[in-house]
Amino acid sequence: MDSYVEIKLRPDPEFAPQLLLNALMGKLHRGLVLAETSAIGISFPDNTDKPRSLGQRLRLHGAASELGGFMEGRWLAGMSDHVTVSVVQPLPEVVGHRVVRRVQPKTNAERLRRRYQRRHDVSAEEARRLIPDSVEQSVSLPFVTLRSASTDQRFALFVSHGPIQGEATAGVFNSYGLSQSATVPWF
């Protein structure tokens, strides 16, 4: 990774920043799927835990050629009034690195039971015995709300920024630009 693109949300009296970020992430996800790339990672430089927010900036990280090709696509169509997009820029000389990953907490025991029933053909009573209410976890991570293309259901995509590291770790990124092990530059 030698370059980045910064996308900033513009203030809008009609739409809350979180709503715009949700829309931006939905478009990014569809764009990454269509581009069939696993070489572009993302970060949220204004991420805060208190208050819980991903902020109003999104950075795309990758090789200059990969980012250039991706940004030539029409994945941002419809967002031009709501965002300011930088050109592909080289990374600053001094950067840290961190993993930005998706966290999928078990927040609803009843949903887990229904899923277990479908997958293992067991009764509701058996699923309740195997999955107690105590498996539920509370989450205090920032998130975006997206709509699943396959099920058309809304879901929260929780994002965790790991600790800053001195060295980069190579790897692949999923169709949200997140990775469980690969780092992105942090500055």
Q: Where are the domains of the chain?
A: 3-104+157-186
Among 146, 157, 156, 154, smallest CA distance to 24 is for 146
Among 58, 74, 59, 56, smallest CA distance to 19 is for 56
Residue 85 β-bridge partners:
7
Do 28 and 75 form a contact (C-beta atoms < 8 A)?
Answer: yes
Distance CA 151, CA 50 (A): 32
Region 145-149 average pLDDT: 86
Q: Is 61 an active-site residue?
A: no
DSSP 142: -
Q: Which residue has the higher pLDDT, 93 or 105?
A: 93
Q: Which residue has the higher pLDDT, 111 or 130?
A: 130
Helices (H), 36-91: 64-72
Instruction: Break the chain down into helix, strand, coil percent, rounded to 5.
Output: 25, 25, 45
User: Which pLDDT score, from 0 to 100, does residue 138 have?
Assistant: 67
Q: Which residues are within 8 A (CB) of 30 and not within 5 positions of it... i.e. 6 or more apart?
A: 75, 149
Name the 3-class secondary structure at 116: helix
Average pLDDT, the chain: 93
Which top CATH class is 3-104+157-186? alpha beta
Query: Which helix or strand (DSSP H or E) is residue 145 part of?
Result: strand 143-147
User: Which pLDDT score, from 0 to 100, does residue 153 have?
Assistant: 83
Edge-to-edge strand ranges of the sheet holding 143-147? 143-147, 154-161, 96-103, 183-186
Q: What percent of the chain is modeled with pLDDT above 70?
A: 97
End-to-end Cα spacing for the chain: 14
> Which segment of 91-95, 130-134, 148-152 scores lowest on mean pLDDT?
148-152
User: Which pLDDT score, from 0 to 100, does residue 105 have?
Assistant: 77
